[in-house]
Structure 1
């Protein structure tokens, strides 16, 4: 039996027995693991160990019985706005499902950085900013998983997709995403095939900015409603492909996410 402590994010809490709770935890050290929280309704730990709370988790592990018990939780971030905004609630569930399905994209420590960066940022932002923040998070997560398309050059001719400045005449110019190449094709090289996905120059330019600029710089960039919905449909499609299945959070959150 050994005692441990680790930075942790509580992903979910479910009933286990009459008074206990089964807790799914995400840690940069251990990835995703489950632990038991003992105690009845009057236990102060019940309010501390709640979904999306993050901080330092204290627990002990009995290797013989294969049991992990939570002993204390020093909460650093409560993310209280998530309980007051439906989009933020569903976005948090969406992120949780992705983490579990992909096992933190194979890198718990790097995953920890971008997940907490998104959640902490969403806590400070309004719903509209959070929606665009979710697009950025998913695009970065696709990179972590090794499945993000490159948005710098045309995969056919090798020319830059961003050689000309974005203006009113080019903003609706369409690039083709080829799932066969996992890359984009410029208008000059296009030969549409089944399964291709069309994205405007604005959308591709923004996604390239997310990949190459600092988060602070990207937050200053504005996006049209058309560009936003294009990117949302696109990154949702790619993230489900990475997960290898339809995501329940997207199905239940239809019209919200």
Structure 2
């Protein structure tokens, strides 16, 4: 369970290094935000306010790099069918390649300046907020799109948009698109733990539930366990199983 639920974002240091210089002369809110990020444990836990700060800063940085003149040629029409639009999205591709782009000196991007400017944006917005600080799970929620969603006349229920821990590059892979949305659009489709000495001690977990039929009690009965990176017992004893038929 500790492996399945691991939210450590090892790649965070590659971005945070652009905030290494001392924040002398910077706004107090920006300096406080930088101190929080330096002290952060690098875990994208759903309840973490520091993970939310990192994600907001990362998104702001993606947007700034996307708008940089060095990236301007990528904004030209790609000439491909609209079906390829998600793969040709400039913010999406910048988000995927952000550490490499920041490390490419030939692009002429003042990476430290952009990183601090992005943090100033976020810190200013955060400084004027009233109420509790946001957590990563406030915006990082599952997007449960049913396969029949676009089929006319077909029942396509939605599952609750529950908060999720993890991130694109953590073991608990719950992928979003920084700079565009924190919503989780891709995640673990199954978790398994097989006990080869005792099959009845094995465990498993799938998103939502084991049935795609919205009429079934098993349509979303694993949602809570999956959202918490937990598993349920694997039952293979025929004496404990009940035949269910959908009509």
Q: TM-score, normalised by structure 1?
A: 0.28
More relative contact order in 1 or in 2 (CA 8 Å, sep 6+)?
2
Q: In proportion to residue count, which structure has more strand?
A: 1
